[in-house]
């Protein structure tokens, strides 16, 4: 018995030492949306806090494109050594596989979940020129102008895309979808009148559930991941540090526009087959 315990301790020692010395050099954090987007803000906030708490630079690189697949593929093919991380949305982690006929990586097999970073409610916003003041007036206006209006999303398969497609299906209306490579360009086009509406992030607005569409639950969340095969001890330490930082009062104050949550188990819960099936159904019908 004593020999067994001794062997177990000896085998565990290298893993413990690895976790204690990690990171020993700068860490790349790949964000799959452009600067100024919500994932970018969350990623940069987290990176700066991890740099302070873990003693090494966490350098953010923005690699947008193909609904987040460009940046995610970089991480999926990176060495599983803990020095390349991914910050992206549920589009990459759970939806794109249904949206794209072929993908260069499998998010379920090639990426290891580290932590859920943030979830956020969304708000339907419109160009003032539409002259609508509430959700009821918006639906009435859309019904009177089928196919004449367009809405912007932060990319095909994004939460803003899926939420609007679900609304179109349930309300029996049609609006043209215009995907963008992030939040800032979509806002610019909406304010200039090139598109008429989009979903943005805001917590203090009456929910569409209160207006007769309870099934339109916000689908937006942002997670941290690593290449599959990254040592469990590194993933565990990263998850603990990310959770600690995202739950801090300072970060909650900075990111007060969204509901924040953290934890590896919480991220895994959002990648369940039932959730993917529901999101896949929306994609297929859009």
pLDDT digits (tens), the chain, 286 positions: 555 555 544 554 454 455 568 999 999 999 999 998 889 999 999 999 999 999 999 999 999 988 899 999 999 999 999 999 999 998 898 888 888 889 999 999 999 999 999 876 677 888 898 999 888 899 999 999 999 999 998 777 777 888 888 888 888 999 999 988 777 788 788 888 888 776 665 545 555 665 666 656 555 789 999 999 999 999 999 999 999 998 888 888 777 654 555 555 556 555 556 566 666 666 666 6
Q: Which of 182, 211, 240 corresponds to the end of one domain?
A: 211
Question: Kind of pairing, strands 197-201 and 176-179?
Answer: unpaired
Q: How many angstroms separate the CA atoms of 194 and 192, rounded? A: 6
CA dihedral 83, 87, 91, 96 (to 10 degrees): -20
92/139 same-domain check: no
| Residue recorded with tokens 């209306």 | 173
Q: Which of 180, 211, 242 corresponds to the end of one domain?
A: 211
Neighbouring residues of 275: CB distance < 8 A, sequence distance ≥ 6 = 94
For residue 1, being part of any structural domain is answered with: no
Token code pair at residue 168: 């179109």
Is cis: bond before 42, omega within 30 of 0?
A: no
For residue 21, being part of any structural domain is answered with: no
Task: Report whether 107 contacts 94 (CB < 8 A).
Answer: yes
Token code pair at residue 266: 């919480």
CA atoms within 13 A on the CB side of 26: 9
Residue 259: beta bridge partners?
119
Q: How many angstroms separate the CA atoms of 132 and 126, rounded? A: 8
157/270 same-domain check: no
114/225 same-domain check: yes
259/202 same-domain check: no
| CATH code for position 259 | 3.40.190.150
111/237 same-domain check: yes
| Torsion angles phi and psi, residue 107, rounded to 5 | -60, -30
Token code pair at residue 285: 């019908």
Token code pair at residue 71: 């940046």
For residue 137, being part of any structural domain is answered with: yes
What is the predicted pLDDT for the residue at 185?
A: 82
For residue 4, being part of any structural domain is answered with: no
Residue 36: which domain range?
26-120+220-285
30/167 same-domain check: no
For residue 18, being part of any structural domain is answered with: no
3-state SS assignment for residue 70: helix
63/200 same-domain check: no
Q: What is the number of domains present in the chain?
A: 2
What is the predicted pLDDT for the residue at 279?
A: 65
Q: Measuring CA to CA, which residue among 56, 57, 60 is closest to residue 44? A: 60
For residue 6, being part of any structural domain is answered with: no
231/110 same-domain check: yes
Task: Report whether 109 contacts 228 (CB < 8 A).
Answer: yes
Q: How many angstroms separate the CA atoms of 17 and 9, rounded? A: 12
| CATH code for position 128 | 3.40.190.10
């Amino acid at each position: 018995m004593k020999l067994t315990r001794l062997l177990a301790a000896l085998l565990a020692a290298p893993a413990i030492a690895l976790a204690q010395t990690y990171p020993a050099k700068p860490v790349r954090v790949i964000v799959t949306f452009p600067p100024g987007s919500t994932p970018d803000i969350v990623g940069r906030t987290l990176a700066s806090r991890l740099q302070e708490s873990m003693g090494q630079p966490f350098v953010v690189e923005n690699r947008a494109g193909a609904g987040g697949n460009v940046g995610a593929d970089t991480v999926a093919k990176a060495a599983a050594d803990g020095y390349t991380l991914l910050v992206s949305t549920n589009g990459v982690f759970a939806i794109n596989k249904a949206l794209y006929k072929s993908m260069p990586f499998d998010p379920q097999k090639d990426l290891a979940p580290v932590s859920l970073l943030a979830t956020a409610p969304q708000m339907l916003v419109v160009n003032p020129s539409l002259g609508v003041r509430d959700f009821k007036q918006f639906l009435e206006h859309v019904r009177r102008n089928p196919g004449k209006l367009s809405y912007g999303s932060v990319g095909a398969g994004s939460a803003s895309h899926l939420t609007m497609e679900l609304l179109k299906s349930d309300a029996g209306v049609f609006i043209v979808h215009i995907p963008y490579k992030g939040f800032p360009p979509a806002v610019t086009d909406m304010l200039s009148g090139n598109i008429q509406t989009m979903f943005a992030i805001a917590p203090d607005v009456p929910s569409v559930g209160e207006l007769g569409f309870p099934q339109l639950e916000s689908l937006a969340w942002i997670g941290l991941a690593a290449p599959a095969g990254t040592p469990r001890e590194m993933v565990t330490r990263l998850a603990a540090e990310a959770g600690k930082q995202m739950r801090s009062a300072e970060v909650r104050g900075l990111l007060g526009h969204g509901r924040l949550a953290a934890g590896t188990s919480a991220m895994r819960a959002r990648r369940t087959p039932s959730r993917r099936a529901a999101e896949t159904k929306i994609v297929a019908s859009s």
